[in-house]
Amino acid sequence: MKTLRNFNFKGKIVLLRADLNSDVLNGKVLMSEKIKESAKTINYLKQKRAKIVVIAHQGRPGKSDFISLKQHAKLLNKYTKIKFVDDILGKKAQEAIRNLREGEAILLENIRFEKDEFFPEKEKKNKLMKLIELADIYVNDAFSVCHRKQASIVLFPKYLPSCSGKLLEKEVSALKKIK
């Protein structure tokens, strides 16, 4: 498994699939270890002068915790500077991605708001291919969804050089210690 150490990120647009899914109480996102750990990968990429596009999810369609990632951005900002973009594929998101400077990070809206996230088999017609066209490298740091057949997990690494992030690497190392 390739890791962050296998790549030169300077000036590259990095599509980072983070694991920000957290408990929600009365519509308010609670701080979680996942958010703190995700900030470590973001900070590492910033130090390496990457242009970071964070994609993540919160909840599942139809559930009460299926909400925007705007609150997650506020929580992440306690550990690393990140700008929230309330868009995934539209002009606002594309412009924000193109305008990124080295060492900057943005968080796009909940990836599960885009229906094509759930249909990776529609590969060539999948709207999320737009993100692939804008990125140079894909980093998976979302251990809890690695088993899911969703576009941001299975489609992106087919088209972009890929590696694991710090949190995913940490989780896999912990599994290797179990006998």
| DSSP-based three-state secondary structure for 178 | coil
- Rounded to the nearest 10°, the torsion over CA 114, 67, 65, 14 is 60
| DSSP-based three-state secondary structure for 40 | helix
Q: Within a 13 Å sphere around the CA of 101, how many CA atoms are in the beta-carbon half?
A: 1
- pLDDT for 31 equals 97
pLDDT in tens, 115-144: 999 988 887 789 999 999 999 999 999 988
The rounded distance, in Å, linking the Cα atoms of 70 and 107 is 8
- Could you tell me how many helices (H) and strands (E) the chain has, helices first? 6, 8
The average pLDDT across 135-154 equals 90
The average pLDDT across 161-170 equals 87
Structure tokens at 104: 């900057």
pLDDT in tens, 25-43: 999 999 999 999 999 999 9
| DSSP-based three-state secondary structure for 39 | helix
Residue 179 has pLDDT above 70, yes or no: no
The average pLDDT across 100-129 equals 93
Q: What is the pTM of this model?
A: 0.94
